[in-house]
A and B are shown apart, each in its own frame.
Chain A
Amino acid sequence: MRERDFELIKRVSEGDQSAFKELYDETYKKVYFYLFRLFKEKSLVEDVIVETYTEVWINAKNFRGKAGLLTWIIGISRNIAMNKLKKLQSHESIDNFPDIPDKITSSETELNGNRELIQKAMMNLSLKHREVLDLVFFQEMTYKEVSLILKIPVNTVKTRVFYAKEELKKIISRMGVRKDEI
């Protein structure tokens, strides 16, 4: 895969448009979902995607293979999206949330197995927690890849995943759903 990544991006950097289309077709859906689940705003997502792939075309020669191609592209899209949001002044920087010190906690609420309910609750998670869960469970990335995208240490990624789960449990509990209601 990694070798193929290099081959594909090399062709893109040489100006091969068919390679660019191939790269786009392979990654578009995942990048779209990442942005859409994060920002829930279709027009913003489309704008960011256009800018992202334009940057990919320009900077293809700078791809060093530190992470996979998808990780690199999602990283670019995240930077663009954050800058856009800052300009719109409609969000709080998601990195400003403090991470709670790491310890194993046991919450009184359990996740109750209702997939749709979990997804609904997930859309009420804070941006930084939803993002980390999406990257790990939906994009199926390693901690290292997530840390490269979010520009935070690997250990912070690990704790963030666990606190995202704890927050999710609290949200489900606030939604007032008991196991026997499902």
Chain B
Amino acid sequence: MKYKLKRLRDMIPLYLNGTLGKEKKILENSLEEFPQLKREFLEFSEIKNSYKEVKDESITDSNKIYKKILEKIEERKLLNPRKEYPERIKRFISSPILSWSIVIVELMVIALLFFFIYRKKWDIEPFLQNISLEGVGK
């Protein structure tokens, strides 16, 4: 029961701010069943209603702040930051030819690396064989 009450209690603020969905009815039906829940409901209702008293006298003129925002953006040179590339370059960048070319170049680099590593290994192998043979002779 405590679990149920806790779940129902959590629904109250959402019910009052209008974001509670299908569970609305469940909460409404439970209010009479649990007096403690009803008291919580009334308290939250009072909090919600108190926001009607919030006045907007102190609000600064929005256009004045908007001007400041534009100045700040201009200051940071952000108003025209998006450099438009010519259509030909755009098409080239997004074409599969470029992607495949990159893959091929990468494979060539890997192949070259392998070639150099293994060539060095092949160069020293006969030398190593000679050493081991001399050791056996003695």
Main SS at interface, chain B = helix
A133 to B18, CA, bound (A): 15
| A158 in contact with B62 given A15-B80, A54-B72 (CB within 8 Å) | no
Do A32 and B78 have beta carbons less than 8 Å apart? Answer: no
Among residues of A, the one whose C-beta sits closest to the C-beta of B68 is A50
Check: B107 CB closer than 8 A to any chain A CB.
no
Q: Which of B13, B58, B78 contacts A54 (CB 8 A)?
A: B78
Q: Scoring A residues 124 to 139 as 1 if CB is less than 8 Å from chain B, else 0, what string do you get?
A: 0000000001001110
| A104 in contact with B19 given A25-B62, A143-B14 (CB within 8 Å) | no
Check: B88 CB closer than 8 A to any chain A CB.
no
Q: Which of B2, B10, B59 contacts A32 (CB 8 A)?
A: B59
Stretch at the interface among B45-53, B98-106, B128-136: B45-53
Contacts of B19 in A (CB 8 A): 140-142
Check: A93 CB closer than 8 A to any chain B CB.
no
Check: A5 CB closer than 8 A to any chain B CB.
no
Do A58 and B78 have beta carbons less than 8 Å apart? Answer: yes
Check: B97 CB closer than 8 A to any chain A CB.
no
| A21 in contact with B56 given A15-B82, A50-B72, A111-B43 (CB within 8 Å) | no
Q: Scoring A residues 119 to 163 as 1 if CB is less than 8 Å from chain B, else 0, what string do you get?
A: 100100000000001001110111100000000000000100110
Tell me the total A-B contact number using a CB cutoff of 8 A.
111
Do B59 and A24 have beta carbons less than 8 Å apart? Answer: no
Do B80 and A137 have beta carbons less than 8 Å apart? Answer: no
Do A50 and B65 have beta carbons less than 8 Å apart? Answer: yes
Lowest 6 A-B CB distances belong to which pairs?
A118-B50, A140-B17, A115-B50, A111-B46, A115-B53, A53-B69
Please give 17 more A-B residue pairs, beta carbons under 8 A apart, in addition to A51-B72, A104-B40: A17-B79, A25-B62, A28-B65, A49-B69, A54-B73, A57-B78, A58-B78, A104-B6, A111-B43, A116-B53, A118-B50, A119-B53, A133-B47, A137-B16, A141-B17, A143-B14, A168-B47
Q: Which residues of A come within 8 Å of B, CB atoms?
A: 14-15, 17, 21, 24-25, 28-29, 32-33, 36-37, 42, 45-46, 49-51, 53-54, 57-58, 102, 104, 106, 110-113, 115-116, 118-119, 122, 133, 136-138, 140-143, 158, 161-162, 165, 168-169
